[in-house]
Amino acid sequence: SKTRRNVIRHLIKSGSSQTYTQPDTSKNTMKVEISLFATKLKNVAGFGKGTSDPYAIVTLGENNLGKTEAYKNSLNPMWITRFVTEYTKELELTLSVDIFDEVSKGKDKPMGSATFELGDVFQSSGHIKAAALKPSGELYVRVQELAPFDRGSINLQIRGIQLANVEMFSKSDPFYEIQTVRSLPNGSQFWQPIYRSETVKNNLQPKWNECQLSIESLCAGNHERPLQIQVFDWEKSGKHKSIGMMRTNIKLLLSACLTNGVLRLVQEGRFYGTLMCTKAEVVGEGLDPSKPPPRFKTINGVRNFNPQYSEWQKQFGSGAGGGGATSAPPAPRPQQTFSYNPPR
């Protein structure tokens, strides 16, 4: 439509990557998170100009949801940017995705486009659906329903210790990804990156910046759901070299930070160095109206009565006024903080 074309031109010109949240207009409306990735795109960079830097512009109906980051030098982009919006089951909304190659000097080049009915994606196996792109490639869109309460986030800081050097004539330039397992429509599984750190140049003992990650995106509130941390050596060509990986979860990360534990990086049976979680804190976690918290809770090795249990009973239990779960919005839980203090 004309409106969609105007939105795309505005985003290309402005470089905006913000997400859009449509207001709730129905009792049957749910909040959803949209993520996407593509495979086997055509390289449109041109002769002698390397590999395309694809990004995607996403619209839902006539509403601009935003723009992903540009994935440098790759025809198989796994975009980190996610879009949170409202979805009403009774409405048929078309999700449109337009992919472009980001050009530093000149006009960005189209790399393909596709449309999806949001309801069809949501009802598909794994809540994920693929569409063929012209002239080549395939685009995948995933729609995840978000909880009606805030699951909070984790503030995390990681450092590397004596990482293996996978460069020939200099030191590696490490960055890492935190990945969660997803299922494709055919039943196969893959690791989808939820977070990608900055690159620390020429350093085998990197201390990456602190990050804040959505618990919902990482594990849908299940702190024991498997996660994978994979470290790479950044390459300008986009063909980043792996420096090992390890499996973990939110619960283990909190424990490793509390006990100063190290996380071993391995690949094909070889040891590639260690990671240390120097900070981990769960913040902003609300109360689940459908599930009471445990009556007792152990923090820093001490078992005490959990005050959130009383709070849940007050708001959502049998003694809550007005039917319990609808009497008041969830109250945030106290912040849990586990910080590592390195020896001086």
C-alpha to C-alpha distances, 315 to 209, 288, 336, nearest whole angstrom:
38, 10, 22
Preceding amide of 332 cis, omega within 30: no
Q: Give the pLDDT confidence score for residue 85 in this predicted structure.
A: 93
Q: Give the pLDDT confidence score for residue 337 in this predicted structure.
A: 41
SS3 (DSSP) at 272: strand
Q: Give the pLDDT confidence score for residue 259 in this predicted structure.
A: 87
Residues 6+ apart with CB under 8 A from 119: 89, 92, 93
Longest dimension (CA), the chain: 71
Transcribe 91-135 into DSSP letters. S--EEEEEEEE--SSSPPEEEEEEEEEHHHHHHSGGGEEEEE-SS
H/E run at residue 83: strand 83-88
Give the model confidence (pLDDT) of 245-257 as tens digits: 999 999 999 999 8
SS3 (DSSP) at 235: coil
Q: pLDDT below 50 — which residues of the chain? A: 16-18, 20-26, 321-344
Q: Give the pLDDT confidence score for residue 327 in this predicted structure.
A: 41
